[in-house]
Every structure is written in C-alpha cells, then in structure tokens.
Chain A
Amino acid sequence: MIKERPKEVVISLRNVSKSFGGRKIIDNVSLDIYCGETFVIMGCSGSGKSTLLRLITGAIKPDEGHILIKGKDTVEIDAEELDEIRKSFGMLFQYSALLDSLTVEENVALPLKEHTKLDKNIIRIIVKMKLSMVGLRGFENYYPSQISGGMRKRVGLARAIALDPEIVFYDEPTSGLDPVVGGVIGKLVMDLSKKLLITSVVVTHDMQSVFRIADRVAMIHKGSVVQTGTSQEIKNSEDPYVKQFINGLPEGPIDFFKEDIGIFEEFS
C-alpha cells in the first residue's frame, strides 16, 4: 500500500463504447477510480486512451454505457448540471491549450473570474499562489507565445488547479518535454495529489513517469482494458501485451505494422 486512502469511487465507467466513422475506438470499457489516488491510463498512441479521457470529461458522449462522476451519470444529465460537475475538476491538456490572447495571469485567473465572486485583489493573490506552486512567479505578464513549452504546461497546471478541484485530468503531461522538465511535471503531479488530496487521472505512454507517479494503472489496447492493477502488479505482470508495452519491445502481440493506428481518432 502506498498510502492510506478512503476506498470511495469518484469516477466509474460502466461498459462504455464509442465509435468514430464506423470504427470502434472504445470497446466496452469498465473502470473504477478511487478518491485521492493517482490513476494512470497507459497504452500505445491510437489505443483510445485520449478518447477515454475526453469521454470522462464530457467533451464527447459515449455511444453506449454510463460514466458516473461523484455518483452523477454524465451521459444523461443536461449541459447545466455537467457544467456544475466540471467546476469540480481541472484538466491539463497535451498542448496546454492556454488562451493565446490572455496573459499567463489572466489565463490562470479565468476560471476564478468566471465561477467565483471573489474580489479582483483576492484573485490576484490566488493566481500568484498557484503560479508559485508550479514555480512560475514573475511570469504573470507574459503571453503564452513568449514562454517555453514546459512553462506553458506548468501554467496549464496552475490553471487546472485554480479552483481547487477534487479531480485533475492530465493528458500526456510529459510528452514533448525534455526529461528534466518531464520529471518536474511528474513531481508536481505527485505533490498535488499528496498535498491537496486530489484525485488524479493521467493519460500517458511515458513509462518513466508511469511508475513514478501511479498508484494504480490501467493498460489500454485497441479500446479495451488489458489489465488494471497497482503499479507493482503491472510491473510484475505476465500479460504479454503489458510486458511488451512496458519494455518497449518491437516484437510481440501488439503488432505495430498490421494496424492503422489512430487515423480515425486524429480526424475526429
């Protein structure tokens, strides 16, 4: 056991399926994510893991199945209720997705301005706190185009935690970063979940960060869950898919050359 955690399910997927252009991207996935844990979804590019994340955040609706966040079925509720749930989670996007027209400070302040009635000065203080948590004090007045990719990611993280969310989603938090910055981001993810008791859901194919940050891991292949378990269980797994993936072997059941990986996912 890595740490004591209440065994309360926050996110629950029940038999979720989703197709794009007649091709099944997510095939009958069921998962439970517990309160306070860091849950990593790993898999090859095109395995459907990003789609799974977008299904959970409500960006797209599943064709079949149910997704429950804090007991509420996000498939069936209307847009207004979904927005209420969304206020309780933050998301770090693969390419940060900061608004280009706003400064770093305005980007982090945006959720606070939109969803709280806090005074301007208090918002400024909160923004400064969040920026110092990700080590970016002093960059308030820069625009996203003026800072590096790693810094943008950290600003995205500051924005994701601006509203003190209960759940934070990370889409490829370390991709496109050098190993050191990747390590820094990984440490930030761990710090946040330990210090603020945030439930973290991380989508990645970066094996280095998986075992560093994960409490539990799910391996996805071709839209289905191959194995779910603690990071120790996954490390010692005998499943041929998992073995091939974590060791990065070209030969094995995951046949790279025979499948058209992710074409539909990229265009949808």
Chain B
Amino acid sequence: MISYISKPIIEIFEVIKGVVFLFLGILYWIFFGPFKKKFVRIESIFYQMRFAGIRSSPIVFFVTFFTGVVLAMQTAYQLEKLGAAIYVASLVAISLCRELSPVLTALVVAGRVGSAISAELGSMKVTEQIEALDTMAINPVRFLAAPRFLALFFMLPCLTILGNLSGMLGGFLVGVGSLDLNPYLYIQTTFKYLELKDIYTGLTKSFAFAMIIALIACYEGLNAKGGAEGVGKATTRSVVISFILIILADCVLTGIFYFSRM
C-alpha cells in the first residue's frame, strides 16, 4: 500500500532533481565552459534556432491569428450590447499580449519542438549515441542540451512577439471587416490602452516557458530507456509535463504580476 503512494512521489522528486541538475549543467557550460575553452557550438545553436524558431513561425502565426479573430468576435458579441464595440481593439490586444499569445505559442512549441527534441535525444540515448559522446569525452549536456536550451530561450519570445502581432491582425480584420469600426480609430484605441508592461510581462512569461520546454524535453530525451517504446513514452511524457508546467507557471506568474500591480 505504502509503495503505491511512495513510488510516484519518489519518481517526481527524481525528475525534479534531474531537471535541476540538468539546468545547472547547462548554465555551467554556457557561463563557465568558455573559461575552460569548451564552447557551446555556435553553428549548432543557429541550426536549432532555425528549427525551433523560424520553422515554427507558420503554425504560431496560424494559431494566434485565428485566436485573435475568435477573440474579437466573442468579445464583440458582449460589447455590442453596451454599444462599446470599439473596445474590442484594446481587449484583444491586451488579452493577447498578456496572456494568450505567450501561452498558446508555448503550447504549440512544446508540441512541435519539445516532442522533437525528446524523440531525437531519446533515440540517441537508446542507440548508445549518448554513451559514445561520453566515451569520446564530449559532454552530452554541452553538445546537445545547451544549444537546444539557448535556441528555445531566444526564439520563443520572438515567436511570442509574432503571435502578438498576428493575433492583433486577426482582431483588426474582424473589427474593420465585420464590426464596421473605423480602422484608424481601431489602431488608436489599441495603442491607447496597450501599455509597455503588458508586452513585457507576456515576454517574461515566454522566457520562463522556453526554459520549461527545453529542460523537460532534454531531460526526458537524455533519460529515455527501453528501445523504441521508451522513446515514445519519453516523448509523450515530455509534452504532457511541459503542458502542465506551462499552465502552472502561467498561473503563478500571472498571480505575481497581478499582486505586484504590474
């Protein structure tokens, strides 16, 4: 009976320990590695940035654009009754920048990039490629995890900015096209109410989400075991854990921003 309860708890602590150690390892190689002439490979970072960032932009654009469209229609449904349809502009902009764009972008990237990282590192692990790197005195954290971490850390906020813009574009098209709002007035209202802090709180979140996605994906990949099935499990776990942690972190960060009046 006790083992039924204690086993998952022990496993959770193992995962937390592993992720923390991985995080410290990545920080070590980024900040202290260069002093020992051991660099995180630049070309590898750029390759990952292209994969994680540029190749993700179409789907991020797609998701946030239609979120903007839907958001504009749903809020207009209520605001039109009050004769305040013009506030669709500010509502769409603020809710996208503060909340929807960072979270949706992170979820999309966790599904697309996080799963790819886990699957790639996982199959490298089960085919002894990670052990081969170790035996060649090439640290897998420096060689594989650090470039992916850095790439996501820089690209997810960029994708979030893209999400902000495309979502606002979606809202703008609905506002101007079907709510008959004046385009000039729509843009003016958007920027009247949208403050800089709305954007940077959203971006702060996306930095945190990027770390979550990269760490969980790399941890699950590097600790995969048991052949093809193990790789599948690691990939699933990576996406599920990332989703849960993104939502949790979003809640905590929103709470912090709200109570500190940011």
Contacts and interface: CB of A to CB of B under 8 A. Distances in A.
B132 interface: yes
A254 interface: no
B138 A97 contact: no
Contacts of B139: 83
Interface in A55-109: 57-59, 83-84, 86-87, 89, 91, 93-95, 97-101
B129 interface: yes
Interface of A: 54, 57-59, 83-84, 86-87, 89, 91, 93-95, 97-101, 110-111, 114-115, 159, 267
Closest 7 CB pairs of A and B: A97-B132, A83-B137, A86-B137, A97-B128, A91-B135, A97-B129, A111-B136
A87 B135 CA distance: 8
Contacts of B133: 99
Nearest to B226: A267
B124 A91 contact: no
A59 B137 contact: no
A110 B124 contact: no
Contact of B136 (A54, A110, A267): A110
Contact of B127 (A58, A83, A97, A267): A97
Contacts of B131: 54, 59, 93, 97
Interface string B213-233: 000000000000110000000
Given A94-B128, A98-B129, A59 B135 contact: yes
Given A99-B124, A100-B124, A86 B135 contact: yes
Interface in B198-251: 225-226
B134 interface: yes
B31 to A, nearest CB: 17
Contacts of B132: 91, 93, 97-99
A95 B131 CA distance: 12
Nearest to B138: A114
B137 A95 contact: no
Contacts of B120: 101
Contacts of A86: 134-137
Nearest to A60: B131
Nearest to A156: B132
A84 B38 CA distance: 13
A98 B124 CA distance: 9
A228 B226 CA distance: 34
Contacts of A94: 128
Nearest to A57: B135
Contact of A59 (B124, B134, B138, B225): B134
Contacts of B124: 99-100
B136 A114 contact: yes
Interface in B87-143: 120, 123-124, 127-129, 131-139
A100 B129 contact: yes
Contacts of A115: 137
Contacts of B226: 267
Nearest to B37: A117
Contacts of A93: 128, 131-132
Given A93-B132, A99-B133, A114-B138, 13 more contacts: A58-B135, A59-B134, A83-B139, A95-B128, A97-B127, A98-B129, A98-B132, A99-B129, A100-B123, A110-B136, A111-B136, A114-B136, A267-B225
A99 B124 CA distance: 8
Nearest to B132: A97
A62 B123 CA distance: 26
A189 B206 CA distance: 53
B134 to A, nearest CB: 6
A179 B26 CA distance: 45
A110 B131 CA distance: 15
Contacts of B127: 95, 97
A92 to B, nearest CB: 10
A91 B131 CA distance: 10
B130 to A, nearest CB: 9
B137 A110 contact: no
17 contacts: A54-B131, A57-B135, A58-B135, A59-B131, A59-B134, A86-B135, A86-B136, A91-B132, A91-B135, A94-B128, A98-B132, A99-B133, A100-B123, A100-B129, A114-B138, A115-B137, A159-B136
